[in-house]
Every structure is written in structure tokens, then in C-alpha cells.
Amino acid sequence: MDTGLVLKTLESAVKNRTITGDLIIHTDLGSQYTSDDYNQRLTELHIRHSYNRKGCPYDNAPVESFHASLKKECVYPVPVFENYETAAAVLFEYVHAFYNRKRIHSSLGYQTPLQVEIATLTSQMAA
């Protein structure tokens, strides 16, 4: 993975979300995340960067769990995607229509990520 791809993803997230209050992004120590360009952009956006400890995958357990679910529920059942566009569409549908909106998570108190996000935003607006 190159720095350009993670910068593009960061820009997409910032464009599609309103940043309220302190924001922390947590990543592993991959070269794309430790690059000067990536960290400079985080600084410009006033986003604090948190890293995994070296050799400690448990620091990123939620993301590791997501990747396991994605592979088990979405990728492995499909022997081969017809092309890149089909794969991208299937993955987008899985994440945005199913995983975030319908799939409950024990780590979130058996709520969906969307339910937790709405509750968090509602709480912030009430404060």
C-alpha cells in the first residue's frame, strides 16, 4: 500500500464526515502511515495520530476483527470477482449497507456502528 492511497482515503473520510472535537486516528507502523506526507496532512487537519506498539497486533484488535469478518463473510464466499469494479462494488455494499448498518458487534454492546455513531453525535449535540 502506498502513501497516496491512504491520503486519498483520509481525504474521502474528511470530506464525508464532520470533524467535531478532538479526533484520533489509530494505525499500525506501516511506512504509509509513518510517512511525512501523511503525518503532515493529519497535522493540518488537527487529527492526533496514535500508533500500534511494534509487534503488538492486539493494539489494533478492532481492525483485525473487521478484516477477519470481511474476509469470512464477503471475500471468501466468492471464488473470484469478475473484475476490479465488481469487487469494489461488493466490498462497498458489504461495508456501507451491511456491516455499518445491520451487523451488531459485541464490542459495541450489541449495537451496529451506525447506532453507536448516532448515539455519540446526539450526546455531543446535547452537551
Report the run of H or E that residue 87 belongs to, with start and end. Answer: helix 84-93
Mean pLDDT for the chain overall: 91
pLDDT for res 89: 95
Q: Determine the pLDDT at residue 107.
A: 87
**pLDDT of residue 21 exceeding 90:** no
Read off the pLDDT of residues 24-49 as tens digits, 9 standing for 90 and up.
999 989 999 999 999 999 999 999 99
Cα gap 87→65, rounded to integer Å: 20
Confidence label for 124 from pLDDT (cuts 50, 70 and 90): confident
Average pLDDT over residues 110-115: 96
CA distance 2 to 119: 35
Q: What are phi and psi of 53, to 5 degrees?
A: -75, 145
How far is 113 from 42, CA to CA, in rounded Å?
A: 24
Closest CA to 14 of 53, 52, 44, 51: 44
- Domain positions in the chain are 1-51, 60-127
- The grid cell for 95 is 461495508
Selected residue with higher pLDDT from 126 and 119: 119
pLDDT at position 16: 86
pLDDT of residue 22: 87
Per-residue pLDDT tens over the stretch 50-109: 998 988 878 888 888 899 999 999 999 988 999 999 999 999 999 999 999 999 999 899
Digit-coded pLDDT (tens) for 1-20? 689 999 999 999 999 887 77
